[in-house]
Structure 1
Amino acid sequence: MTTQTASPTRGVTPGSPTGGGRKPLHVRLLGKNPLGWLFSAPYLVFVIAIFAYPVCFAVYMSFKDYFFAAPGVNVDRPWVGLQNYVQVFQDPQVLQSFRNVGVFLVINVPLTVVLALVLASALNGAVRWGTFFRVSYYVPYVTASVAVVGVWLFLFSQGGVVNSVLGPLAPSPSWLSNPALAMPMIAVFVTWKQLGFYILLYLAALQNVPKELYESASTDGAGKIRQFFSVTVPGVRPATVLVLLLSTVTGANLFTEPYLLTGGGGPNGASTSPVLLIYQQGIQQGHPGYAAAIGIVLMIGVLIIAFLQNKFAGGRES
């Protein structure tokens, strides 16, 4: 008596994943759910038009002696290769602008993370007038920079309120005219103005931290401070990585604050940021090719910092 064994390929149609055949072309190109492309198409077009195309065009400009001309006018824009990039790393003004933004990030990023997390943890508890404080912290973020800068100048100018209170202890030159204090003051200003946004990010992250962890820590005898470092900080680690990335990218693109607070990067370039220098070189002085090279170097630097932050801050759980 013989028995028949079922063929392992019975019931498998050609072209199916288990049959070893190739998937149809439309599946390989569009995936199993092509409708997703329809919903993501508007954002994809936005990214290409607003980000991808300008970046590619900036790379093209950085390798040429580029300058703007009237529409329809054909002008010679000679190819200069790496000359613009060599000039970037040899220009003392550019190097100073990168040092300035480095000082800004060293002050702004840690201050933003610490203050936002501490204040969000306080607001997340049973605090009286909690809604009032949340709105109060968020108001500077949504207020026009020009209006907020006016208040800041009123406080920290040579004859401002702060110097009047400090009297002989006031710095000379004053805060925003002092080469050593101009960029730190801008960092403090940006931290204060944008803090409300990061507080909201942390408040959202704190909602996902299980309450049972706090109860267990309290049962084990952990106080509020120990709970903060043992439960809260690890629980919002992905949000911390996001805050680090956003504050770094925002700080690297610093423009409005030094332009308004110090009159365009003063004193003597002590508060000039790379983006402000790009504007001065590309628009005011008519060297867009050189300005594009500065922008590409800045973008690469920000990508490297963001990669290191994402790698070492532990935003992804294993």
Structure 2
Amino acid sequence: MIVPTFNVFRMSLYKWGGYSAEKTFVGFNNFKTLASDMKFLRAMQNSILIITVVTLVTLALAIIFAYILSREKIKGQALFRTIFYIPNILSIVVVAAIFSAVYDQRDGLLNSIIYIFRPVAPDGKGLIAWLGNQRLVVWAIIIALIWQAIGYYMVMYMASMAGVPESIYESASLEGAGKVRQFFSMTLPMIWINIRSTLTFFIISTINLSFQLVKAMTGGKPDGASDVFLNYMYDQAYTNSSYGYGMAIGVVIFLFSFALAAVVNRVTKRDALEF
């Protein structure tokens, strides 16, 4: 693990196509080029947007659904748990295929639903190109990532909530605390360690999953509007034969991931509650 990581840093200082024997030492020129590379900056903006929105929305919904299925008496709880978890066991390529069909401009499910409320011309003019619109494509990817991840984290939070003694909830009810108050004042603090751990893990995994989904669903199109960190790095290193430049992007991603994890750990740090 250490040697490949060191080699990423080392190769970021060279100009190299990746296959030839000739390597030219260029120092920090690759990083200077990155600072003015608008395509990289756009990929960076997309990655930060995806990490922020997907993480917050997914974890919030996962916690809410976990609480409902753990605390409320709902018929078919086991069925709901299974349904929520199914997307997580699907390959990311399968998820990309499903949402490519949903977003299809001509025959996709989403446009078909919109067509019911807003008829369009017979030639299809007026239908939304979800994956072909530079403003919408990133949001289309965000929805797919949220759909894929909710079930996994919901199950993790349900396991944590199962460890909270029922007697504490009974005491709170006798004291007049409603379910909303119990959720914010008891449930969240008591599973906070689990939330904190999954938050860091999810942020890092989102960086990887967003690359896989973009590669399988859009390839960075249209015109690089859906590019993310790793997708742009892959294209530079293996498609454009700019391996050294790609490794410079890898160094930036490496440092960004560590810095972000450190900030999250610092912000979410709090004393553990005992009962």
Greater CA drift, 278-287 or 139-148: 139-148
3-state DSSP class of the match of 1:255? helix
Answering whether residue 121 of structure 2 is matched by residue 164 of structure 1, we say no
> Structure 1 305/143 Cα, relative in aligned 2: closer, same or farther at 3 Å?
same
Instruction: State the alpha-carbon separation in 1 of the partners of residues 37 and 235 from structure 2.
Output: 14
- Distance between the aligned counterparts of 1:98 and 1:78, measured in 2? 27
Q: Which residue of 2 aligns with 1:100?
A: 46
**Which residue of the partner structure matches residue 255 of structure 1?**
211
Matched, 1:283 2:233: no
CA RMSD, aligned part only? Answer: 1.9
State how many pairs are aligned. 263
Quote the residue 2:134 is aligned against.
Answer: 179
Q: Distance in 2 between matches of 1:251 and 1:302?
A: 11
Displacement of 1:193 in angstroms is 0.6
**1:104·1:187 contact (CA, 8 Å) conserved in 2?**
yes
Shift of residue 239, structure 1, vs aligned partner: 1.4
Instruction: Give the drift of 1:315.
Output: 5.3
Q: Spell out, residue by residue over 1:135-178, the C-alpha distance to the aligned partner (whole angstroms, 9 max, x if none).
A: 21111111122223222122221121211211238975422221
Unaligned regions of 5+ residues in structure 1, if any? 1-50
* Alpha-carbon shift at residue 106 of structure 1 (Å): 2.2
> For 2:82 and 2:227, how far apart are their aligned partners in 1?
32
Aligned CA distance change for structure 1 residues 169 and 211 (closer, same or farther; 3 Å): farther
* Partners of 2:111 and 2:128 within 8 A in 1: no
Aligned equivalents of 1:251 and 1:260: distance in 2?
Answer: 15
SS where residue 286 of structure 1 aligns? coil
Partner of 2:56: 110
Tell me the distance in 2 between the aligned counterparts of 1:122 and 1:101. 31
Match of 1:298 in 2: 253
Deviations along 1:62-113, whole A, 9 cap, x unmatched? Answer: 111133337xxxx231221111111111111110100011111221011011
Determine the C-alpha separation between the residues in 2 that align with 1:207 and 1:66. Answer: 54
Bigger radius of gyration, 1 or 2? 1
Identity level (%): 27
Partner residue, 2:89: 142
2:175 to 206, 220, 228: 220
Per the alignment, do residues 200 and 216 of structure 1 end up closer, same or farther by CA in structure 2, a change over 3 Å counting? same
Inter-CA distance 169–120: structure 2 relative to 1 (3 Å threshold): farther
Alignment-mate amino acid for residue 77 of structure 2: G
How is 1:59-98 mapped onto 2 (pairs within 5 angstroms)? 59-69=9-19, 75-98=21-44
Distance 2:3 2:80 in 1: 42
CA offsets, 1:251-296, max 9 Å, x none? 222212112222x111121110110011100011111111111011
**8 Å CA contact 1:98, 1:274 repeated in 2:** yes
